[in-house]
Structure 1
Amino acid sequence: MAFNWLRSAAETSPARQAAPTEAKASAVGAAVAWATTGRAAWSPRDSVSLARNGFGRNVIGFRCVRMVAEAAAAVPMILSDGVRRLDVHPAAHLLERPNPGQVRAAFLESVYGHLLLSGDAFVEAAGTLASGLPAELYALRPDRMRVIPGADGWPEAYEYAVGAKKVRFDMSPEAQPILHLKTFHPLDDHYGMAPMEAAMASVDIHNSAGGWSKALLDNAARPSGAIVYRAADGGTMTESQYRRLVEELEENHQGARNAGRPMLLEGGLDWKPMGFSPSDMEFLQTKTAAARDIAIAFGVPPMLLGIPGDATYANYQEANRAFYRQTVLPLVSKVAAGFAAWLSAQAGEPIVLKPDLDALPALAPEREALWRRVTEADFLSEDEKRAMLGLPPGGAR
């Protein structure tokens, strides 16, 4: 509620008008003006702020990260040596149970979540098996990791800090204790740019619209206004009358529990509403547009989030297929290639990781059509058909 009108009335009393006018000493005093809007306040772009404001405090950002991370972590992988599929291998066992506290899905969800929120994911190799592979894998928090570049510009070490304690991981061709996965960043040599960072402007707008709606509800779901005091004798309110009025308004007419309660004004008081209504300010359209922009930054079709007004895809099935093709599978392929190269260097033998497209229900119609076309192509050899289906040549599994 705005009560400055009451004080303005008191300041225009005869006693106040009789006081000498104070002159401004500043040369720009005459140029000072009051405005209704100011500069936009944007959230910081560090990893902690991105996670707190974009994930913890925004329902659209939270849902986008969860959808992409959970879908990517659930994609089945094919492990091979480049020729044959390897169902029993130390690398397969390592990925199924990376560490005693996490199974495959939980571990990979952390990796994908860090990539989406900060643009970087760091995986620690702990211990060594007889095969040369790590005994355990751990996903480390990116906000605690610092890249230490060497003389050639490539990372020579990584430093992980928790409070005052720091752990240094030295990198060499013989020992690679850290796998650093990152998204593309055009202006940084060592760190990636997260989708959340690109979406933060829309996240700030969405959060501000939600905060405005909450403040509106707390103030009886109506914009602020002024209570004008018109006394019959032209006098002003006393200080005790002013305090009593403020206390009664705060106690009886603010908050959701007092919504709709009629206001009783007496003694020459009159209510003058001010400001724009929610319909005039189009907060609903602004919030919906911001939600759509957040979903686009993460590559999630707005239809899958229930955001109204999106008609890009004919139905939910097409939107879900596009979600996997354009967002989930490129991310999974990138992470799988990074893990494969890292584990191959440690095991001393080729390890190939690829997503199993035949096991994805969302892509079943596409795979069925492809299998049908390849099967009916009599001019192709058996190995050519297998290559088109993503299978190893020579009848190998």
Structure 2
Amino acid sequence: MGFLGDFYNKNIKLKRQNAPSVVGVSQPLRMQFRFMGVNQFVWNTVTTDDFVENGFLGNGVVFTVQDWKSQKCATARPLVYQKRDEKSYRQYKSFLTNPTKDSFLRARDIQFKALEEISGHEMQNVLDNPNPFMTRFEFEYGLTAYLDLTGDGYIFGARDSIDGTTGKIREMYLPQAQDVAGVMNGYEITKYYLQSNPGTYIDARNVCHLRNFNPTRRIIGQYHKGLSRLHALSPLVDSYRENITAEASIYADKGVRTMVFPKGQMDPNEGSIEQKQSMRDLFNQQLKESSAGGIITSSVEVGSINLGFNPKDLGLVESRQDIKIDICAAYHIPPELFGWGAHSAYENLPTNRKIAITDAVLPEYEKRINKYNQWLTPSYDPDGKQGLVIGYNLDDFNELQPDRNELATWMERVPGLTANQWLEAFGYGAGNDENANKMLISTKFKLLEQIGVESFEGRPGNPFENEDENG
């Protein structure tokens, strides 16, 4: 085969020797991504624009639920931490997976052992001020909304290196998710661009892509395109809009029509056509006046009958209520939070708020934090030796704050806590006393020797020993 052939064979052998063993196993899976070849494609179709325009902006129920969730997801401030103990950190993260009432208390307690907040870190400045045009709240709010409405959320990063693909990420920008498109090379996306500005490309290393799970095969680029939450809700969104339109039409037509007619029989030959038309015009005029508070008078005995149905008879109100509940269920938010459920909005408000945070907000926030740690954190800690991680403080969610008596009861069961841990758990901040970080042992528990009782087997110190001997 000659020199080139020998070089090719040797090169292939070296690559196979140095390649990770997982490549051979994953090769059939990677082939699924190669069906598009090398090309440029737009995966956010007009459907996502419809979801934003008709779902979020054109539907009051979707807007209300999405607005609440987006605000809550923007409440907690992402913080830069340094891991104190790897094992405790893994336990802390596990407690936040499918959280319960007790797991929150344990997570809050172990957080002091697992993580130490770093104040004034340069990465914290990026999280607090993502770019000159948006506040942190606007940025986090929009990221949540795009992820729910379009199925995708994108963050474009600006680095401080000359080539623009290495170095620290100094600014983060939030593009409109429905405007983002990608260029694939085989099975991976190499660059992105905005459909509104197709001539400018963004290297894939500078893009953080969050997406929802997408099971459908009908969407081109399904492995790189998230599924909108409104895909499943689109029939409900359409039904709600039709419901509102029907009710508005009924009210525009004054709802139920009342038809008035003269009682008894009338001779059709009695009176001319002109007289009948004149009588009809006069009757209609008086009828309009009566609807505005006037009085209609007639020398003819009349009867009436109601024609049509009002919104209540048609079940429009009940149907719309059911749609509201179904939309809330898709967002994992109790409808009682908005006064739409079967019970009063304030009947069990604290519990409903806590359920909404644990089921709807925290999973979304965990997804975001994990992406930050995969994309943003390595630009400041490439080898992981500094132990930097991005997290959040559970105390930022007022709904998750336990009752003080409940918290005190729980902490009394945990041995060896320090005074500072008690102070910080109740929101007072750490103290500077030299003993503030020393373990506290409850005085309720003492050794038997300290209270003069060694055992109950007749040994010295047992007050019942003499009673047994003396009968």
TM-score normalised by length of structure 1: 0.69
Cα distance in 2 for partners of 1:264, 1:362 equals 63
Cα distance in 1 for partners of 2:147, 2:316 equals 31
Distance 1:233 1:327, change over 3 A: same
Query: What displacement does 1:48 show?
Result: 1.4
**1:209-358 alignment to 2 at 5 Å?**
209-220=243-254, 222-223=255-256, 232=268, 274-310=307-343, 315-349=348-382, 350=384, 351-358=388-395
Which one of the candidate residues 167, 171, 182 is aligned to 1:136?
171
Distance 1:186 1:136, change over 3 A: same
Structure showing greater Rg = 2
Structure 2 portions without partners, runs of 5+: 1-44, 85-115, 217-221, 426-436, 438-471
What do the CA deviations read for 1:364-390 (whole angstroms, capped 9, x no partner)?
117975675355333x799xx99xx9x
1:147 matched to 2:179? The reply is no
What do the CA deviations read for 1:194-247 (whole angstroms, capped 9, x no partner)?
223322222222222211221122112x2479999x99259xx99xx8xx98xx
Distance 1:114 1:260, change over 3 A: farther
Whether the aligned pair in 1 keeps the contact of 2:154 and 2:209 (CA below 8 Å) is yes
Query: What displacement does 1:341 show?
Result: 1.1
Greater relative CO, 1 or 2 (CA 8 Å, sep 6+) = 1
Whether the aligned pair in 1 keeps the contact of 2:325 and 2:341 (CA below 8 Å) is no
Whether the aligned pair in 2 keeps the contact of 1:333 and 1:355 (CA below 8 Å) is no
1:179 matched to 2:213? The reply is no
Cα distance in 1 for partners of 2:210, 2:125 equals 21
Query: What displacement does 1:119 show?
Result: 1.2
Whether the aligned pair in 1 keeps the contact of 2:181 and 2:194 (CA below 8 Å) is yes
Which one of the candidate residues 126, 137, 162 is aligned to 1:94?
126
Cα distance in 2 for partners of 1:123, 1:194 equals 18
Distance 1:170 1:271, change over 3 A: same
Q: Structure 2 counterpart of 1:151, which letter?
A: G
Whether the aligned pair in 1 keeps the contact of 2:75 and 2:397 (CA below 8 Å) is no
Query: What displacement does 1:57 show?
Result: 2.0
Cα distance in 1 for partners of 2:64, 2:53 equals 14
Distance 1:81 1:281, change over 3 A: same
Which position in structure 2 is the counterpart of 1:79? 80
Whether the aligned pair in 1 keeps the contact of 2:159 and 2:167 (CA below 8 Å) is no
Q: Structure 2 counterpart of 1:97, which letter?
A: N
TM-score normalised by length of structure 2: 0.59
Q: Structure 2 counterpart of 1:87, which letter?
A: S
Whether the aligned pair in 2 keeps the contact of 1:61 and 1:196 (CA below 8 Å) is no
Structure 1 portions without partners, runs of 5+: 1-43, 390-394
What do the CA deviations read for 1:149-169 (whole angstroms, capped 9, x no partner)?
3202x222222111xx31443
Query: What displacement does 1:271 show?
Result: 8.4
Query: What displacement does 1:261 show?
Result: 8.0
Identity %: 19
CA RMSD of aligned residues (A): 4.1
Query: What displacement does 1:340 show?
Result: 1.9
Distance 1:79 1:279, change over 3 A: same
User: Mean Cα displacement is larger for which, 339-348 or 59-68?
Assistant: 339-348
Whether the aligned pair in 2 keeps the contact of 1:69 and 1:109 (CA below 8 Å) is yes
Distance 1:263 1:215, change over 3 A: farther
Q: Structure 2 counterpart of 1:96, which letter?
A: D
Distance 1:179 1:119, change over 3 A: same
Whether the aligned pair in 2 keeps the contact of 1:148 and 1:157 (CA below 8 Å) is yes
Distance 1:360 1:227, change over 3 A: same
Whether the aligned pair in 2 keeps the contact of 1:313 and 1:319 (CA below 8 Å) is no
Q: How many residues align?
A: 325
Cα distance in 2 for partners of 1:355, 1:310 equals 33
Which one of the candidate residues 223, 238, 255 is aligned to 1:189?
223
Query: What displacement does 1:313 show?
Result: 9.9
Cα distance in 1 for partners of 2:347, 2:63 equals 26
